[in-house]
Amino acid sequence: MEHDNIYLTNLRDEKQNMWTGLANYFRKRSMWMLYYCTGCGAIELPPTMTSRYDMERLGMGPMATPRQADLLLITGYLSVKTLKRVIWSYEQMQEPKYVVGFGSCPINGGIYWDAYPVINHLEAFMPVDMSIAGCMPRPQAIIDAFEKLMDEIQQGKAVGYKRYRKHYDWYKRNQDLVLNRQSAVLTPYVDPFASMPTAAELMAQESEDSHV
């Protein structure tokens, strides 16, 4: 049978059966995104979303809650504190779900590679389906990445969520390493004021010290 239209062509992909191919076709055409604007990348989204570049022509739109979203945008650097919230949001999302990392920061830390609160490789904590290099990528690059992601969804390659499910222990181990660390990384800090003395006590102690 000859099919010249793209969706039927894709159905011929050996890796997918007819139903997943069909489902993927519709999935890629209606993506609701949750943008987790942690970094500089947030500023590139308004032009991408509004009339200048208009991502709605790709069938994408903003969504208010993680439970209703398909696409999680990590727009820039992630501090440890936000990483925890991002993981919560990601785990709340319904499958199938996709993650796009914006800029170099989620790839390898970017200019924050040596900063103490910012993680370096997002890929180690959650599956990333698409990364956009650049600091910060322009809206054209973002649209381009979305189109690529749609292709990958159609071909059944954007399966980060399955990877997350299958290798949950690997991701969990990395998450725990950073989020639930039990000991100091370099030098443990002993707070000399852990007992919370009052000012009067401190002054009395100091005048004692100076008399000795």
Partner 1 sequence: MYDHIFKRAQSLHGDKITCEKKHPQQLEIKTDRHYVMNLLSWLKTESYVHLAFISCIDWIEENQFELVYHVYSYEEKNHILVKTRLDRDRPWMHSIIDVWGHAQPYEQEIHEMFGVYFPGNPDLSGLFLHNWKDLPPMRKDFNPKDYSLALYSLKGMGHEALDMDFIQEITELEVE
Minimum CB separation of residue 79 from partner 1 in Å reads 8
204 binds partner 1 (CB under 8 A): no
Q: Residue with structure tokens 């650049």?
A: 134
Element (H, E) at 175: helix 168-179
Q: Is 16 in the site for partner 1 (CB under 8 A)?
A: yes
Whether omega for the bond prior to residue 96 falls within 30 degrees of 0, making it cis, is yes
Rounded CA separation 149/133 (Å)? 14
Name the residue nearer to ligand SF4 (CB basis): 48 or 104. Answer: 104
Q: Is 78 in the site for ligand SF4 (CB under 6 A)?
A: no
Pairing between β-strand 98-102 and β-strand 60-62 as defined by DSSP bridges = unpaired
Give the x/- contact pattern for partner 1 in 159-188, rule: CB under 8 A.
xx-xx--xx------x--xxxxx-xxxxxx
Q: Exactly one of 21, 66, 76, 160 binds ligand SF4 (CB under 6 A); which one?
A: 76
Q: Does 36 bind ligand SF4 (CB under 6 A)?
A: no
- Contacts with partner 1 in 87-146 (CB under 8 A)? 109, 113-121, 123-124
Residues sharing a CB contact under 8 Å with residue 142, sequence separation 6 or more, in sequence order: 44, 45, 48, 53, 102, 132
Per the CB < 8 A criterion, the answer to whether 55 and 27 are in contact is no
- Looking at the Cβ atoms of 99 and 105, the one nearer to ligand SF4 is 105
12 is a contact residue toward partner 1 (CB under 8 A): no
Contact set for partner 1, span 55-84 (CB under 8 A): 79-81, 84
Q: Rule CB under 6 A: choose which of 53, 77, 164, 171 binds ligand SF4.
A: 77
Per the structure block, which two tokens stand in for 134?
Answer: 């650049």
For 129, residues 6+ apart whose C-beta sits below 8 A from its C-beta are 98, 99, 100, 149, 152, 158, 160
Residues at the site binding ligand SF4, with contacts judged by CB under 6 A: 39-41, 76-77, 103-105, 110-111, 135-136
